[in-house]
Amino acid sequence: MIPRKADVELWCWLQVTIASEARRGEVCALRWCDLDKRFVRIERSVSATSSAGVVIKSTKTGKPRVVSLTTQTVNALLQRRAKAIRSASAAGRDLDESELIFATDRPGQQPWRPDMVTGRWTRLRKEIGPSHVRLHDLRHFVATEVLTAGIDLRTVANRLGHAAL
């Protein structure tokens, strides 16, 4: 497990990524309004290119999906939300549900770039090892674990946001 002290924000992001099996850009595009108790609705993705800049667009398949989250992930998001509420209050405003969960600014309008997350992950994995594990490998690992636990292929494909088997 990743030590929380190393990068608290990345730790929360990783919790969401692993629990939801979402792509990097999909987690970067999550808003507070996308959360409902133990579920998250994935309907957008962040893309960043030199020509277009940072863009929030639909998911790879263009179809939204709802996936469940672990208790640990829900708790991490509740802590992040409490911090966002305190930050908004200090700025004399309320937290807006349309704000991004993972933003580079306050009031949460500029999303984390997927390549920025990869850079933070690369630095962290060098500290804690194994240094060869890519972010996308986590997605594959979780999918394999869920399939091994006996969850049917169609359910796993839906959680991953795959259009077809």
Q: What is the pLDDT of residues 84-141, one digit of tens each?
A: 999 999 999 999 999 999 999 888 899 999 999 999 988 888 888 777 888 888 877 8
55 pLDDT tier (thresholds 50, 70, 90): very high
Q: What is the pLDDT of residue 165?
A: 62
**Mean pLDDT score across all residues of the chain:** 87
- Hey, which residues does 133 pair with through a beta bridge? none
CB 99 within 8 Å of CB 107 = yes
What tokens does 104 get? Answer: 């580079």
Within 8 A by CB and 6+ apart from 16, the residues are 22, 27, 30, 40, 69, 73, 76, 77, 101
Alpha carbon distance 143, 161 (integer Å): 12
- Domains of the chain in start order, with CATH, are 4-160 (1.10.443.10)
3 pLDDT tier (thresholds 50, 70, 90): low
14 pLDDT tier (thresholds 50, 70, 90): very high
Alpha carbon distance 80, 76 (integer Å): 6
Q: What is the pLDDT of residue 79?
A: 94
49 pLDDT tier (thresholds 50, 70, 90): confident
